[in-house]
DNA sequence: TCAACTATACAACAATTATTGAAATATAAA
DNA sequence: TTTATATTTCAATAATTGTTGTATAGTTGA
């Protein structure tokens, strides 16, 4: 993952609304939710929701499929995993001893 | 970590400049760098750098200590670790089987 | 104390992002 | 085909964030 992609993903998560959307869709994985269900759950005006959904989809954080007149959104968990790996690499890069306490060192095994 | 803190951290990372600053300081951990060294390395006007350093420090992503007339900045690696944990929890919450492929499942051991 | 140096605070402005309502598109149902 | 439903696009505006120069505060060493 390059810096540009990481920055875009962080932007996507740097809003309470978008973080709520993502967490809601993780909770409903792998089924996902249609736009109206998300709007109802988060009580957002549809245009505002659409604005954020579009941004997140463009950032590849969400996937969307059409179901008749509905749009079903799903969290893209593999991108989230890649972001966690990127962040772990940034965090540990050359300095795992400073990033993880001794007791937790064994928990850091994403970069095997 | 609550949502508000996570959002602030994502905001801190959602800028190319701030991501560069953080990565530079991770590379120089645990010594850190003084503001002038960061400005020289990233060729930024001092006021602009100061703006971003202040935001990152306020978000607790950086620590700062005074050294005479210099201000030394260090990456706060434990906060980064907490963010990775938060993101992993968001990613896996209730659905580890969808987040990690079978072959990599054993690599997910942050939430033990 | 004085001059040089480091960095931040402030203020003005530029640029980007967020929010909303109205209109448009497309599907479904009557 | 007409009407209703779901969602998006567009345009206007509000709100936030980023950038720059100048001025200020604090530190050092002569």
State the nearest residue by CA to the C1' of D10.
A47
CATH class of B3-109: mainly alpha
Buried b (16+ CB within 10 A) or exposed e, B61-99: bbbbeeeeeebbbbbbbebbbbbbbbbbebbbeebeebb
**Which of A4, A9, A14 should we substitute to test contact with B (largest number of B Cβ atoms within 10 Å)?**
A14
Distance CA B110, CA B112 (A): 6
Q: Using a CB-CB distance cutoff of 8 angstroms, which residues of chain A are in contact with residue B103?
A: none
> How many interface pairs between A and B have CB atoms less than 8 angstroms apart?
112
Mean pLDDT lowest for which of A46-50, A83-87, B95-99?
B95-99
With contacts defined as CB-CB under 8 Å, which chain B residues touch A10?
Answer: 10-11, 13-14, 19
Neighbours of A107 (CB within 10 A): 16
Q: Tens digit of pLDDT for each residue in A14-64?
A: 999 999 999 999 999 999 999 999 999 999 999 999 999 999 999 999 999
Whether the model pTM is above 0.85? yes
User: H-helix or E-strand containing A65?
Assistant: strand A62-67
pLDDT for B53-94, tens place per residue?
999 999 999 999 999 999 999 999 999 999 999 998 877 765
Residue B64's nearest nucleotide, by CA–C1', is C7
**How, if at all, do strands A70-75 and A62-67 pair?**
antiparallel
């Amino acid at each position: 993952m390059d810096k540009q992609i990481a920055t875009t993903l962080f932007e996507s998560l740097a809003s309470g609304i978008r973080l709520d959307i993502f967490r809601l869709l993780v909770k409903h994985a792998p089924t996902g939710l249609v736009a109206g269900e998300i709007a109802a759950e988060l009580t957002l005006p549809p245009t505002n929701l659409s604005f954020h959904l579009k941004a997140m989809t463009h950032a590849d954080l969400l996937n969307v499929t059409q179901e008749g007149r509905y749009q079903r959104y799903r969290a893209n968990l593999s991108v989230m995993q890649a972001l966690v790996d990127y962040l772990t690499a940034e965090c540990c890069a050359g300095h795992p001893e400073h990033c993880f306490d001794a007791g937790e060192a064994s928990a850091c095994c994403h970069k095997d």
